[in-house]
């Protein structure tokens, strides 16, 4: 129970705000480089660092450059990097076989990072969209995104990533039953140490627009993802999904997008006390960058304020394209 506060003037709540020292002493939440997972985009070729037009400050990198990025992240104290493949239309097929090819760009990037920068944790993306000719996260049969056949493919994809050395598997596909199937396969194939961070509460969101451009999926996607990603009007359903994924063997759970769904982050953390992450997605990032480029907001301050909001909402960490910029700033302030 909350004790009654002495009335004014015995209680003056401004007392704790009067100086940087007293504000630091009474601050309830804090941010550090430890809180970040940095999503990066890998593509074919060598020596390539190609800007993503819809995401100022974000690049598609060839494997050698991803290794440099991983080293930079580790030096900044960022504990994990998350690999997304960029695939051109010519690399996409209906059977999505590239997804579990041990030598696809993503798996080559995992191997190269684990060889050169073993101290950074590597997270993956499990979904068919970046290998699928029609941009969907699952197989499409007669216009329907089919569940169980997709889960079989996602399990193959998971195992190829675990074999490449991934530390954290990141299923972003929203099919039913995938976490249990992945966990069983990881156990039986000798990958007991591999973690799963499930995109459990992933909404069908227009905030993913710039990402689809970054991975080459915007031209490819036919229709929308509403039959598998969540309806933005729902909140209880997020709790059911999180409970289901934890019971199937997820080690950590995610809410996505981030800022527009902080109410979900708070409910999830309070209900399950499990390691809870939010994804500050591409649209959230690009809105801040665009407004900052116009001089309408102070980009650095808004970046830090937006990241602190996730901690306040109860998140243990944040997937954010701002990770290196924010870590650099935080390290300087220390
Ligand atoms: C797809 C996937 C998406 C994102 C991560 N994994 C896009 C989608 O569901 O269409 C979005 C990330 C972002 O917007 O930053 N499996």
Q: What ligand 1 atom has the least distance to the C-alpha of 137?
A: 16
Residue 18 forms part of a structural domain: no
The pLDDT of residue 89 is 87
pLDDT of 3 > 80? The answer is: no
Catalytic residue at 65?
Answer: no
Residue with CA nearest ligand 1 atom 11:
208
pLDDT of 173 > 80? The answer is: yes
Catalytic residue at 256?
Answer: yes
Distance 233 CA to ligand 1 centre (A): 19
Best probe residue, ligand 1, of 57, 92, 137, 260 (max atoms within 8 Å of C-beta):
137
Residue 90 forms part of a structural domain: yes
Distance 211 CA to ligand 1 centre (A): 6
| 196-254 pLDDT, tens digit each | 999 999 999 999 999 988 887 767 788 999 999 999 999 999 999 999 999 999 999 99
The pLDDT of residue 59 is 97
Residue 23 forms part of a structural domain: no
Distance 162 CA to ligand 1 centre (A): 21
Best probe residue, ligand 1, of 127, 257, 286 (max atoms within 8 Å of C-beta):
127
Q: What ligand 1 atom has the least distance to the C-alpha of 39?
A: 15
Residue 315 forms part of a structural domain: yes
Taking residues 118-147, report their average pLDDT.
96
Distance 18 CA to ligand 1 centre (A): 43
- Ligand 1 close to Cβ of residue 129 (< 6 A): yes
The pLDDT of residue 182 is 98
- Ligand 1 close to Cβ of residue 208 (< 6 A): yes
Taking residues 110-130, report their average pLDDT.
98
* 218/155: higher pLDDT: 155
The pLDDT of residue 110 is 98
Range scoring the smallest mean pLDDT among 72-86, 154-168, 210-224, 235-249:
210-224
Range of the domain at 144: 32-333
| 14-63 pLDDT, tens digit each | 999 999 999 999 999 999 999 999 999 999 999 999 999 999 999 999 99
Q: What ligand 1 atom has the least distance to the C-alpha of 321?
A: 15
Q: How many degrees, rounded to 5, is the angle at CA 44 between CA 38 and CA 49? A: 55
* 334/87: higher pLDDT: 87
pLDDT of 283 > 80? The answer is: yes
How confident is the prediction for the chain on average, in pLDDT? 96
Residue with CA nearest ligand 1 atom 5:
172
Number of structural domains found in the chain: 1
Tell me, what CATH number does 179's domain have? 3.20.20.70
Q: Band of the pLDDT at 261, cuts 50, 70, 90?
A: very high
Residue 17 forms part of a structural domain: no
Active-site residue, from 202, 225, 269, 311: 202
Residue 16 forms part of a structural domain: no
The pLDDT of residue 24 is 96
Q: What ligand 1 atom has the least distance to the C-alpha of 217?
A: 10
Residue 26 forms part of a structural domain: no
Q: What ligand 1 atom has the least distance to the C-alpha of 210?
A: 14
The pLDDT of residue 4 is 84
Residue 74 forms part of a structural domain: yes
Return d(Cα 68, Cα 127) in angstroms, integer.
26
Cα radius of gyration (the chain): 20
Cis-peptide, bond into residue 309, ω within 30° of zero: no
CA proximity to 249, closest of 194, 325, 331: 194
The predicted model scores a pTM of: 0.97
pLDDT of 168 > 90? The answer is: yes
Active-site residue, from 65, 114, 225, 256: 256
Residue with CA nearest ligand 1 atom 7:
208
């Amino acid at each position: 129970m909350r004790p009654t506060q002495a009335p004014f003037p015995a209680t003056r709540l401004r007392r704790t705000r009067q100086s940087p020292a007293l504000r630091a002493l009474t601050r309830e939440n804090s941010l550090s480089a430890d809180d970040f997972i940095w999503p990066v985009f890998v593509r074919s070729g060598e020596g390539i660092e190609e800007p993503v037009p819809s995401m100022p400050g974000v690049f598609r990198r060839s494997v050698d450059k991803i290794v440099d990025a991983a080293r930079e992240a580790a030096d900044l104290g960022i504990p994990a990097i998350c690999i997304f493949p960029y695939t051109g239309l010519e690399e996409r097929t209906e059977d999505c076989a590239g997804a579990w090819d041990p030598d696809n760009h993503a798996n080559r990037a995992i191997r190269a990072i684990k060889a050169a920068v073993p101290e950074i944790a590597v997270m993956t993306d499990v979904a068919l969209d970046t290998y699928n000719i029609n941009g969907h996260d699952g197989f499409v049969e007669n216009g329907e995104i089919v569940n169980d056949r997709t889960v079989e493919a996602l399990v193959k994809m998971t195992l190829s990533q675990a074999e490449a050395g991934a530390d954290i598997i990141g299923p972003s596909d929203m099919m039913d039953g995938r976490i249990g199937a992945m966990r069983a396969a990881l156990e039986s194939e000798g990958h007991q140490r591999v973690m799963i961070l499930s995109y459990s509460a992933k909404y069908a969101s227009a905030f993913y627009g710039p990402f689809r451009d970054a991975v080459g999926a915007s031209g490819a996607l036919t229709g929308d993802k509403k039959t598998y990603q969540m309806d933005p009007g729902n909140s209880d359903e997020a709790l059911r999904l999180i409970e289901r994924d934890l019971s199937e063997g997820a080690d950590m759970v995610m809410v996505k997008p981030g800022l527009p769904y902080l109410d979900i982050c708070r409910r999830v953390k309070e209900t399950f006390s499990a390691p809870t992450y939010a994804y500050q997605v591409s649209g959230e990032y690009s809105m801040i960058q665009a407004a900052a480029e116009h001089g309408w907001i102070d980009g650095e301050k808004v970046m830090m304020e937006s990241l602190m909001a996730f901690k306040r909402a109860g998140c243990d960490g944040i997937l954010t394209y701002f990770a290196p910029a924010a870590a650099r700033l935080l390290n300087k302030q220390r």
